[in-house]
Structure 1
Amino acid sequence: MICVYCGVRFVEKFSFHKLFFQTNELTCSQCISKFKKIIDPVCEICCGYIIENQKLCKNCIEYISLKLEMPLIINKSIFHYTNEIKEWLNKFKFCGDVQLASIFADDLMEYYENSFKNYKIVPIPLSDARLKERGFNQVEVLAQYAGLNLTNCLERIHTEKQSKLNRYERLSREQVFSYCCAEKIDNEPIVLLDDVYTTGKTVQDAATILLQNGATEVHSLTLIRA
């Protein structure tokens, strides 16, 4: 096999899972080992770093103390925002190497099955302008490789790139989402799917719109926790 990330030929390890389900490894073990998975203990709300013996991170404690709206109940993230995953994100998201989504397909499916099975999955959308510029929605590509079925019911107003905003500017940004389906959600729990969780503003805003349109509760599953 040829690793989709580094391009080096490697020998695929045998397993009965691959034999019965006819799946193949697309990434060598050396590349996979570069990415650091998040393990407990982490913040019970956002999956961020916590001080020893604390249940919540300083950001979530601040939100609660300031009585800021937090409609999203729980965010689950899979990987830390390391230099290695930042490089992967740049190749995948900004250079358009969509096949790199295959690296984390099994992880996304596993986390969804373990934490949000039977929840309706709503992807965070791109604005029309950003979609035209990039050519694809990276969240939808991740879901496609993971075999996750999506419900597209949100639209996004075009704004400046999140990466160009500081923390204060992100948190003070106005609502950018609207509901775009003819029918409301029929009292169902929702899990939002996104690539990166930074301040949480994006998924919190999306959760607000979904709750206003019939969702019973909203969580999020993000590949990376910055």
Structure 2
Amino acid sequence: MICVICLTPVTPDFNWTYLLSKEPECYLCIGCKEKLQVIMGETCQICGRPLDLLEAVHVEEGVCHDCCRWNESTEWKGILEANQSLFLYNDFLKETIARFKYRGDFRIAASFVSFLPKDFAKNKVVVPIPLSEERLYERGFNQVEAVLFYAKVPYLNCMVRLHSEKQSKKTRKERLQIENIFKLEQKESIMAQDILLVDDIYTTGSTLRNAAKVLKEAGAKSITSFTIAR
């Protein structure tokens, strides 16, 4: 067995879970695990940002200044109830996700699965953030769906992306100037449901909020989100 990120040999722990599982878990080497910065401690109640990275003046009653600004808008207040992210987007994870998304290294998706919470997606309809047809053609797969595939989590593809402009190429100001970028299909499948949106990276939260707004207006009961990186 080899590490799915650095490809060095990995010796698994031979415990009962390993012996009784139908197929071996995909493992990471110790070195790669240590380079992933798991988000721990107190976080913003809405976006999941670690509060110890912020000065006290930028936090109000457990909510970061960015989320306070979102909530100042009657259009966006409460649209996205809460976000949870696994890791800080450090240089190691940035390079790993780049290999995963842009260089077609599908198996890297397996490296994140063992970090997912035990109650991940419990009693919720999971909706991955979609790629545009152009991006899907370029990459060959949706990176979010790849993680859900390895995690064996069922999901609903009920949204379509209306344009293909890369969020990574936009400035922060441009990302915050939200336009309608999603269209909903299978509306009946999300009516009165608790929805969990899943994406790879939370940056400003504009993509997730845009998707959440479309779902909310179509009758979803609540929308939370989950991302690999923050």
TM-score (norm 2): 0.90
Aligned-residue Cα RMSD (Å) equals: 1.7
Correspondence for 2:140: 135
Q: Match of 1:93?
A: 101
The offset of 1:27, in angstroms, is 1.8
Deviations 1:4-59 (A, max 9, x none): 21121132222222122243343212211110000121101001132447511121
Report matched runs for 1:25-44 at 5 Å.
25-44=26-45
In the alignment, does 2:145 pair up with 1:144? no
Task: Answer whether contact 1:72 1:204 (CA < 8 A) is retained.
Answer: yes
User: Which residue of structure 2 lines up, in the alignment, with residue 59 of structure 1?
Assistant: 66
Residues 1:185 and 1:116: Cα distance change in structure 2 (over 3 Å): same
**Secondary structure of 1:155's match?**
strand
Aligned AA for 2:76?
E
For the Cα contact (< 8 Å) 1:197–1:224, is it kept in 2? yes
1:83 aligned to 2:84?
A: no
Please state whether the residue corresponding to 1:183 is helix, strand or coil.
helix
Q: Describe the SS at the equivalent of 1:168.
A: helix
Quote the residue 2:48 is aligned against. Answer: 47
Instruction: Give the equivalent residue in structure 2 for 1:2.
Output: 2
Is the Cα–Cα contact under 8 Å of residues 171 and 201 in structure 1 kept in the other structure?
A: yes
Corresponding residue number in structure 1 for 2:15: 15
**Separation in 2 of the partners of 1:66 and 1:183?**
28
1:199 alignment partner in structure 2: 204
The structural deviation recorded for 1:68 is 5.2
| C-alpha separation in 2, matches of 1:4 and 1:99 | 6
1: distance between equivalents of 2:186 and 2:81? 23
Three-state SS of the structure 1 residue aligned to 2:20 is helix
State the distance in 2 between where 1:118 and 1:159 align. 32
Contact residue 144 and residue 199 of structure 2 kept, 8 A: yes
1:74-108 Cα offsets, whole Å, 9 max, x none, are 00101000011001001101111011111011223
CA–CA separation in structure 2 for the residues paired with 1:208 and 1:186: 13
1:182 and 1:119, CA in 2 relative to 1: closer, same or farther beyond 3 A? closer
Deviations 1:174-212 (A, max 9, x none): 110011126352311000011001000111011111112
Mapped partners of 1:197, 1:166: distance in 2: 14
In structure 1, what is the Cα distance between the partners aligned to 2:137 and 2:73?
Answer: 38
Structure 2 residue matching 1:136: 3-state secondary structure: coil
* TM-score, with structure 1 as normaliser: 0.91
Deviation at 1:116, TM superposition (A): 3.6
- CA-to-partner distance for each residue in 1:101-144, whole Å, 9 max, x for gaps? 11011223xx2x42541101001001111111221111111110
One-letter amino acid of the counterpart of residue 219, structure 2: G
Supply the distance in 1 between the matched residues of 2:88 and 2:196 (Cα, whole angstroms): 20
**Which residue does the alignment assign to 1:124?**
129
Count of paired positions: 222
Q: What is the alpha-carbon distance in structure 2 between the residues aligned to residue 157 and residue 193 of structure 1?
A: 18
Check the 8 A contact 1:49/1:57 in 2, yes or no: no
For structure 1, list consecutive stretches of 5 or more residues without a partner in the other structure.
none
Which runs of 5 or more structure 2 residues have no equivalent in the other structure?
none
Letter in 2 for 1:76: Q
